C-alpha cells in the first residue's frame, strides 16, 4: 500500500471486487494507491499497469521496495 496519494485522485472502493486483478496492476482504493504483487482479488480500481516485478523469491533481494521508498507513477512515453 502506498500513502501520500493526491486527495483529488481518491476513489472509493468498488462495490463488487474483481476476482482476478493481475500482477502489476496499478490500483487506487480510497486515499491509497498500490501495485498488485501477484494476481489476486481486489476491490480497488485499476488505473494502469507496470511490468516491474515487486517480489521474486528467487532473487538475491526478493523485495524491490522498502518502507520509506518514494514511488512516482508516470504515463509510459510521457515526461512528467
Cell digits for 59? 532473487
18-24's contacts with Cβ under 8 Å and 24+ in sequence apart are 18/42, 18/43, 18/46, 21/46, 22/49, 23/53, 24/49, 24/50, 24/51, 24/52, 24/53
Q: In this predicted structure, what is the pLDDT of residue 46?
A: 96
User: Cα(36)–Cα(68) distance, rounded to whole angstroms?
Assistant: 18
Kindly report whether the global pTM for this prediction surpasses the value 0.75.
Answer: yes
Domains of the chain, by residue range, sit at 1-68
Q: Which helix (H) or strand (E) holds 26?
A: strand 25-29
- What is the tens place of the pLDDT at every residue in 16-61? 999 999 999 999 999 999 999 889 999 999 999 999 888 889 999 9
Query: Which residue is listed with cell 502489476?
Result: 24
- Given pLDDT bands bounded at 50, 70 and 90, which one contains residue 77? low
Architecture (CATH level 2) of domain 1-68: Beta Barrel (2.40)
- Given pLDDT bands bounded at 50, 70 and 90, which one contains residue 3? confident
Amino acid at each position: 500500500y502506498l500513502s501520500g496519494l493526491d486527495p483529488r485522485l481518491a476513489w472509493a472502493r468498488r462495490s463488487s471486487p474483481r476476482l482476478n486483478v493481475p500482477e502489476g496492476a496499478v490500483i487506487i482504493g480510497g486515499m491509497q494507491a498500490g501495485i498488485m504483487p501477484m494476481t489476486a482479488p481486489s476491490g480497488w480500481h485499476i488505473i494502469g499497469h507496470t511490468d516491474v516485478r515487486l517480489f521474486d523469491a528467487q532473487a538475491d533481494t526478493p523485495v524491490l521496495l522498502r518502507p520509506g521508498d518514494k514511488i512516482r507513477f508516470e504515463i509510459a512515453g510521457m515526461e512528467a
